[in-house]
A and B are shown apart, each in its own frame.
Chain A
């Protein structure tokens, strides 16, 4: 997965989102140790302080826990992860529906089209 930083939002928030996606996708499996702040920052080509802020905020959401000596670990709480996965899925669906609306499709038409496609 590539790191992508867009123009219109704070960088740390975008990093947090992409870290979450990587956890959902299993790039960083449940219970595994995350790379260090410096490594992650270098990989994404961003300032280490910004990456630090993204990771702290991930800790706040309960997806990641810091162990004082051993670094940061991905949660082992599968339910928590599934809940966050659903949040992402909902927001993707909203984006789809909003996009279809600008193209002039009603919700029902959009649903119908998606069913035919999938």
Chain B
């Protein structure tokens, strides 16, 4: 058993001319819940797909428990994709059969108990389930494996706050203690409390990797507030804030210079 569960060195992924990941060097240990944070298009899903072996890197290397992605790593990685990939005529029961056949670390009893707790009918077709129920069912399947690495791509996007709590509690209550959970999301304030560590991805590069409490200690603010600062973009418009009012001018985009404030004709200045 390697000490570091994930090691990426000089990882790059291009789609034609577009660079999705520029140069990612990353080490993630065991027994942690890690947030993979970044705005849309920053490379979160690409990185996760590379880690599960669904994509091949353009350059660089990935090691999971010391091995390149392949049959071994797939047996220890439990992946929740960002969208439903099951045929919608299937029932919860069919899916359990599926998982039982595919993964020897799948604990069916556990999955069934979790469905029962949720009041989910085992013979209900996916087609007839609400979006939230589908998400919960998928998460139950993924978390019922005794995997070493759980890769959860946007597990709480698009569900209501109560469903988010259910999903986060399910993750907290069911991950394997020697295993690591990677959660990609941009809903930071919802997940911040459950994370040990965060990785900020910006335009295909890791701009920060730190523990949540270290960020709070050194910055005096939450990870959510820091994220808003690091990824702040200034919208174009007549009423753009004057540069003086930016509380984080250092993070403002270099190119887009806001015009000098227009003379205010209405008299009342928006402070």
Give A contacts to B, CB under 8 Å.
5, 7-13, 41-42, 44-50, 53
Cα(A49)–Cα(B195), bound, Å:
9
Given known pairs A8-B216, A11-B193, A11-B216, the reply for A42 and B173 (CB within 8 Å) is yes
Once the chains bind, are A46 and B173 in contact (CB under 8 Å)? no
Quick check: A12 and B213 within 8 Å, CB to CB? yes
Please, what's the 1-or-0 string for B16-31, where 1 marks a CB less than 8 Å from any CB in chain A?
Answer: 0000000000000001
CB-nearest residue of chain B to A45: B193
Give chain A residues whose Cβ lies under 8 Å from the Cβ of B217.
Answer: 10
What residues of chain A lie closer than 8 Å to B42, measured between beta carbons? none
List the interface of chain B (C-beta within 8 A of A).
31-33, 165, 168-169, 172-173, 177, 192-196, 212-213, 216-217, 220-222, 224-225
- Count of A-B contacts judged by CB separation below 8 Å: 51
A48–B172 CB distance below 8 A: yes
A47: contacting residue among B172, B216, B220, B221, CB under 8 A:
B172
Nearest chain B CB to A39's CB is how many angstroms away?
Answer: 10
Determine how close the nearest CB of chain B comes to the CB of A51; give it in whole angstroms: 10
Q: Which of B172, B173, B224 contacts A7 (CB 8 A)?
A: B224
Q: Tell me whether A7 and B221 are in contact (CB under 8 A).
A: yes
| Alpha-carbon separation in the docked complex, A92 to B31 (Å) | 38
B193, A49: Cβ atoms under 8 Å?
A: no
Q: How far is the CA of A48 from the CA of B212 in the complex (A)?
A: 13
**Cα of A47 to Cα of B177 in the assembled complex, Å:** 11
Query: Would A8 and B221 count as touching, CB distance under 8 A?
Result: yes
A47: B residues at CB distance < 8 A: 33, 172, 193-196, 212
A36 → chain B, closest Cβ, in Å? 12
Highest count of chain B CB atoms <10 Å: which of A5, A10, A42, A47: A47
List, in ascending order, chain A residues with CB within 8 A of B31's CB.
49
- Which of chain A's residues have a CB closer than 8 A to the CB of B216? 8-11
Q: Are A50 and B169 in contact, with the CB atoms below 8 A?
A: no
Instruction: State A48–B224 Cα separation when bound (angstroms).
Output: 20
B257 CB to nearest A CB, Å: 31
A5 and B193 contact, Cβ closer than 8 Å, known pairs A11-B216, A12-B213: yes
23 A–B contact pairs at CB < 8 A? A7-B221, A7-B222, A7-B224, A7-B225, A8-B216, A9-B220, A10-B216, A11-B193, A11-B212, A11-B213, A12-B213, A42-B169, A42-B172, A42-B173, A45-B165, A46-B193, A47-B33, A47-B172, A47-B195, A48-B172, A49-B196, A50-B196, A53-B213
CB distance from B228 to the nearest CB of A (A): 12
